[in-house]
Structure 1
Amino acid sequence: MGDTRLIDEPKVRITSGTSIVGVVSCVPEINVGNDYFLDRFSSEEISDVSKMTGVQSRRRAPNGVRTEDLCFAAANTLLDKLGWERSSVDAIIFMSQTPSHVLPATACKLQSQLELSSSCIAFDVNLGCSAYPYGVWLCSSLINGESLKRVLLLVGDTISSISDPNDRATAMLFGDAGTATAIEYTDSSSESVFVLGSDGSGAANLIVPNSPIYGNVSLDTRLKERDMDKLYMDGGAIFNFTLKRVPALVNSLLTAANGSLDEFDGFLFHQANKFMLNHLCKKSRLPLDKVPMNIEEFGNTSSASIPLLMTTRMQSELSQRRNHIAMFGFGVGYSWGAASVDIGPLKCVETIEL
């Protein structure tokens, strides 16, 4: 089997012996354009938000459609397209901040819905913007350390369900999506490099204040007269965190991977905000032609944004040849994760609607 090890700097991790063999994204068929918000915000307000974020449209899950449903549809399609026997899946990991329930774990429900073996490991991980790099590392580590062969990584969010429709900072920014990634053991893969970290001192800057168990435990004066069951975002604090952390994250990954910019086929960023992404690319001196974006069409899809980029903006490349990819997730937590991985040619890489 492959190996997982720490190297000189503790935050850098290397895995080998695993490959991503397929990715499917599922988005709701309901497409919401900016005009939808004219009953709440002025045209000038909408224009200002759109110029800053870049969002022109986003997919919204209708009532009754959950992250679980989007991820199930993506996983079901992926398993069928790959021809994987359901009994061959050793683990299923569901990563989201909009699960179906506080308990049970959504992964356990999906194990049953997908008719996977009762010996299949199933658990949830509560992460948002950084979830995909973390998830790829976690799946690779499980395969390395637990002698697993095949793992399903399901990553997605329906942030529209927790967004305040009267808060222009969040109502127009987020879109919904669910994804499924198939990762399996291989003895011929190249090494993957990961840089992961967190700083919980910024937790209150992107938060749903109410706890379903403890109620409102926040004393934050910024939340006065807000709906405590809805998402609160301090945009300025998030922007400052991103500008401070992400260029350093890019540099750390490139240094750890011993790679130059020319060696990478794509730099996939969490689709947080178009203005922010353009600034990050300029500051990190990344070639814009290698930085795909889809925030204009899908909005900020939280944990799903990186795999959704793969199935929308890099589908052709990933299906035809091997690509050296750098991916960067950052935000809520605060949490950040980066990965340098070789991906492709994939047997299945597509976007479906539900």
Structure 2
Amino acid sequence: MKATIDGVRIAGLRAVVPRQRHSFVEDPGLFTREEAKKLAATIGVQERRILPRPYCASDLCVAAAEGLLAQLDWDPSTVEVLVFVSQDADYVLPSTACIIQKRLGLPTSTAAFDVPLGCSGYVYGLWIAARLLGGSSATRALVLCGDNSSRYLHPEDRATLPLFGDAGSATALEVDAGAPPIPLVIGTDGSGAPHIFVKAGGKRDCLIPPAVSCGEPPRSAEDEARLERDARLTLNGAEVFSFTLRAVPPLLREAMEHAGTTVEGIDWFVLHQANRFMLEHLRKRVQIPAGKFVIDMERYGNTSSASIPLALCSSLGDSLAGGRRKVLMAGFGVGWSWGAMVADIGPVPTPQVAELPDDWPVLAVG
């Protein structure tokens, strides 16, 4: 599907990461030192940021939002759209966005809701929030993207443990009649669902104790062990790679065609930071010059929904503060789900990456 966002601009960005670091290069753990060095060179990750309990992705996003509101000098009462994009809700209910609305002090006229998407979530979130602005009396929106993927990882899974890190982000959108249009392309193929998968935890395969009073039998020790195993992330690397090379080059070309531009007309390509090996294959397949192509996961790992805004803040802060840049952003993965947009960004207050303070209050209810 193709769409176009009109009359809305990206006004600012900010990312927040945990202070806690882990490097498989320095502390190989499951690997020999030689294996760890080769792995880091291939996937492009030297260290990851790990969010300690009891914090959640929402805490990182709230910290990013508070910093961004201060940087933009926006009164929270002027923000009436809040979209929280994450696969890591604080609770089964209520919606985490409702809790964040209160924490940020946004008005009760705010439309606030969760979007449980991962790798494609940033593009989806911007599109949804911008369309809400275009069809309502609201003039400002916040899109918060973040994930706490490290808690899904099995401590002995050599395929996922070195790759995924935690991060949160905030992006501010504002109605602006003079803003250039933002063309985008969106798609979904649910046949990919089993290939990046956390099976247990929802109602289909539940982790909560059985309701014996309602006729559900008690679970055996074997069932408990299975649920614990199925609550971890499983990733079929070969299928992910095959899907990416099959779907993403056409996605990038279609997004540029929809935007009426070419590789030469794009200042920066910022894709979901899946891993270096995959990104380099995509870059060469689409013939994108290395100087225009952002790979920025060495210090953070794959941060799922936060990876695009984190890369924008980490690699392009000065560039986006210095003037208008045409940026192609593309997310792809879990679902399968994908989206790409071509947006003119800047000049904006310098996007920054901050660390979550040690004394940050937990975003909790009750």
Q: TM-score range by the shorter chain?
A: over 0.9
Instruction: State the 1:216 CA deviation.
Output: 6.0
State whether structure 2 residue 258 is matched by structure 1 residue 268. Answer: no
Instruction: State the 1:135 CA deviation.
Output: 1.1
Partner SS for 2:91: coil
Question: Which of 328, 331, 334 does residue 333 from structure 2 map onto?
Answer: 331
Instruction: State the 1:226 CA deviation.
Output: 8.0
Instruction: State the 1:34 CA deviation.
Output: 1.3
State whether structure 2 residue 102 is matched by structure 1 residue 125. Answer: no
Look up the match of 1:168: 158
Deviation per CA, 1:145-184, whole angstroms, max 9, x where unpaired?
A: 2232001100010100111121011111011100000001
State whether structure 2 residue 242 is matched by structure 1 residue 248. Answer: no
Deviation per CA, 1:84-142, whole angstroms, max 9, x where unpaired?
A: 11111111110001121121111000001111111111100010000111111111111
- Number of residue equivalences: 339
Range with bigger deviation, 98-107 or 224-233: 224-233
Look up the match of 1:100: 90
Partners in 1 of 2:344 and 2:203 — Cα distance? 42
Instruction: State the 1:62 CA deviation.
Output: 1.2
Aligned-pair identity (%): 40
Matches within 5 A, 1:209-228: 209-215=199-205, 227-228=229-230
List alignment gaps of at least 5 residues for structure 1.
1-10, 218-223
Instruction: State the 1:40 CA deviation.
Output: 2.6
Partner SS for 1:171: coil
Partners in 1 of 2:88 and 2:193 — Cα distance? 17
Instruction: State the 1:83 CA deviation.
Output: 1.1
- Greater C-alpha Rg: 2
Question: Which of 337, 343, 346 does residue 341 from structure 1 map onto?
Answer: 343
State whether structure 2 residue 61 is matched by structure 1 residue 71. Answer: yes
Aligned Cα root-mean-square deviation (Å): 1.7
**Alignment-mate amino acid for residue 285 of structure 1:** Q
Look up the match of 1:50: 40
Look up the match of 1:317: 319
**Alignment-mate amino acid for residue 148 of structure 2:** T
Partners in 2 of 1:202 and 1:37 — Cα distance? 33
2:164, 2:302 within 8 Å by CA — same for their partners in 1? yes
Matches within 5 A, 1:280-295: 280-295=282-297
Partners in 1 of 2:81 and 2:177 — Cα distance? 19
Instruction: State the 1:48 CA deviation.
Output: 4.0
TM-score by length of 2: 0.89
Partner SS for 1:295: coil
Partners in 2 of 1:129 and 1:307 — Cα distance? 12
Deviation per CA, 1:63-83, whole angstroms, max 9, x where unpaired?
A: 212101000100011111111
**Alignment-mate amino acid for residue 307 of structure 1:** P
Instruction: State the 1:292 CA deviation.
Output: 1.3
List alignment gaps of at least 5 residues for structure 2.
208-225, 357-366
1:328, 1:337 within 8 Å by CA — same for their partners in 2? yes
1:96, 1:155 within 8 Å by CA — same for their partners in 2? yes
Question: Which of 3, 7, 18 does residue 28 from structure 1 map onto?
Answer: 18
Look up the match of 1:7: none
Matches within 5 A, 1:232-243: 232-243=234-245
Partners in 2 of 1:17 and 1:212 — Cα distance? 38
Look up the match of 1:204: 194
Deviation per CA, 1:237-284, whole angstroms, max 9, x where unpaired?
A: 000000000001011011111102121110001000101100100000
**Alignment-mate amino acid for residue 323 of structure 1:** R
**Alignment-mate amino acid for residue 198 of structure 1:** T
TM-score by length of 1: 0.92
Look up the match of 2:216: none
1:21, 1:348 within 8 Å by CA — same for their partners in 2? no
Partners in 1 of 2:227 and 2:104 — Cα distance? 43
